[in-house]
Structure 1
Amino acid sequence: MVVDRNSPVPLYHQLAEQWASAISSGALKPGDPFENELALVARLHLSRPTIRKAINELVRQGMLVRRRGVGTHVASQVVGKQNSLTTLFDELQGAGRKPRTQVLRMQASRPNRTAAEALGLRPGTPLVYLERLRFSDGQPLVLLRSWLPPVFHDVCADDFADRSLYSVLSERGHEKAEARQRIGARMATARERHLLDLTRADAVLTVEWLSRDADGMALEFGEHSYRGDSYVLDMDLRRD
């Protein structure tokens, strides 16, 4: 890394541009640890305020992230969700990412009162419970918890290795036509921290989801937990 001390461009800005280029090119990958300030001062022979200002600039741009007790890392790539019925799996593929799904749990007969009521079924109805961990380019992005009505008792874990839930349901004659979602945020649980590679200081974006087909049949009640540093929701709002 070379800086021109005679250039009118501030030294911190020269550093920030070179680091940003390394991140954009993939030389520095999401999740990579970033060299600490003292080591950079010694290696680059620049002042600590200059180093810190360059790092702060990349933190401001969302390219680096600081975590207390962990240090500075290259930020995960942010996935944007449009205000539409497209699936996350399809959006990742459309953005040139490589989605992968790990099925953590699958039970064909698991009652859940909250899910049954949301699906319009009687409490105690045995539901299909599906818990998946979705990755984007090898990085964990979201923990997906889904309850399906018993009509889908024949789905199996292998169905979801390289496909979305709704492509599987579509093959069974049920196309998603509408959905309602409730967005929230909270601190990650211990299990979420473990699965999503988070720290105690990290929060998750929560999405409660209910979808229906064109006939009004409820297809999925979901409670999903997204990494807060890797996922955004884009919505267009208009005056009524």
Structure 2
Amino acid sequence: MPSRYAPSVPTHEPQHEPTHLRLAVDRASPVPLYFQLARQLETAIGEGTLAPGSLLGNEIELAARLGLSRPTVRQAIRSLVDKGLLVRRRGVGTQVVHSRVARQLELSSLYDDLLAAGLHPSTQVLHNTRADAPAEVAAALELPGSGQVAVVHRLRLTRGEPMAYLCNYLPCDLLELPTAELESTGLYALMRHQGITMHSAQQEVGARIATDEECALLAEPPGAALLTMRRTTYDDRGRPIEYASHVYRASRYAFEFRLLVRG
């Protein structure tokens, strides 16, 4: 997926001084003490109280502050290391890696979902032009082989950290796509503002190894895994109005499925 330019992105997370949280455990509860501590730390990470790069302090300090044994604290930290939320770094300590975004599979905008989750999304528009539709896009949008489309490539960030690389293709006559507005709000919000009703979509989710360009854009190491999403969106008249090809950092992002059991 080509882009006009690749913005500079941090190659490593900032380090912050040890963070002192208000933590407490209920010894009368049947819930294991290590699990109570792990849940409080996970909540703090998810809410942003513990930002990426924050240091927890060592196990001895946490154990003394909470009146817990070191094995109990170690078990709580290990459970979050296993989830990919914390990392132990020699000479640095236990550090917050990231808060992973879990997104339900539905017809919604990533921008709106991140905003609703309090994650303060921002956008960098890398490419905004018109071009001949690639064969896959022309087929999805039901265009003639030589038809043109509006092409928008964006980098979506949360708290200044790249989260996803978004490539969208739309019929040229659908709506205007000013770059300034694309950087201040979501694409679907612009469509709704123009009176476009999104009714349904056909979507495919997968995974693959990132290209060198994608690694640079998303601040991932070479060979990192990416989640992929391809979507064709239809309006309330059944007209295809958008073809999207998005990639997400698997280290920062997850899709959630809701399954129904049929008897």
Interval containing the TM-score (normalised by the shorter chain): 0.7 to 0.9
Which residue matches 1:20? 41
Counterpart selection for 2:177 from 136, 155, 166: 155
Amino acid at match of 2:168: S
Which residue matches 2:232? 210
Q: CA deviation at 1:123?
A: 1.4
Counterpart selection for 1:133 from 144, 147, 155: 155
| 165-174 or 19-28, larger mean C-alpha shift | 19-28
Q: CA deviation at 1:28?
A: 4.6
Q: 1:73 to 1:190 in 2, by over 3 A?
A: farther
Structure 1: runs of 5 or more not aligned? 2-12
Counterpart CA distance in 2 for 1:23 and 1:182 is 30
Counterpart CA distance in 2 for 1:112 and 1:144 is 16
Name the SS for the 1:195 alignment partner. Answer: helix
Answer whether contact 2:46 2:100 (CA < 8 A) is retained. Answer: no
Which residue matches 1:223? 245
Which residue matches 1:173? 195
- What's the TM-score, normalizing by structure 2? 0.70
Counterpart CA distance in 2 for 1:64 and 1:128 is 41
Q: CA deviation at 1:168?
A: 1.2
Q: 1:113 to 1:96 in 2, by over 3 A?
A: same
Q: CA deviation at 1:59?
A: 1.1
Counterpart CA distance in 2 for 1:65 and 1:179 is 38
Is 1:78–2:109 an aligned residue pair? no
Deviations 1:33-92 (A, max 9, x none): 879xxxx79x99xxxx9798675332124322589xxx9862321222223222111111
Counterpart CA distance in 2 for 1:34 and 1:234 is 29
Counterpart selection for 2:119 from 97, 105, 128: 97
Counterpart CA distance in 1 for 2:248 and 2:123 is 14
Name the SS for the 2:184 alignment partner. Answer: coil
Q: 1:156 to 1:236 in 2, by over 3 A?
A: same
Counterpart selection for 2:135 from 113, 121, 139: 113
- What's the TM-score, normalizing by structure 1? 0.76
| 200-209 or 164-173, larger mean C-alpha shift | 164-173
Counterpart CA distance in 1 for 2:168 and 2:47 is 36
Deviations 1:116-156 (A, max 9, x none): 11111111211110000111122111000011112136322
Identity of aligned residues (%): 32
Counterpart CA distance in 2 for 1:184 and 1:72 is 32
Amino acid at match of 1:20: L
Name the SS for the 2:176 alignment partner. Answer: coil
Q: CA deviation at 1:98?
A: 0.2
Answer whether contact 2:230 2:243 (CA < 8 A) is retained. Answer: yes
Answer whether contact 2:141 2:241 (CA < 8 A) is retained. Answer: yes
Amino acid at match of 2:258: D
Q: 1:200 to 1:220 in 2, by over 3 A?
A: same
Q: CA deviation at 1:111?
A: 2.7
Amino acid at match of 1:105: H
Amino acid at match of 1:60: D
Which residue matches 1:233? 255
Which residue matches 2:208? 186
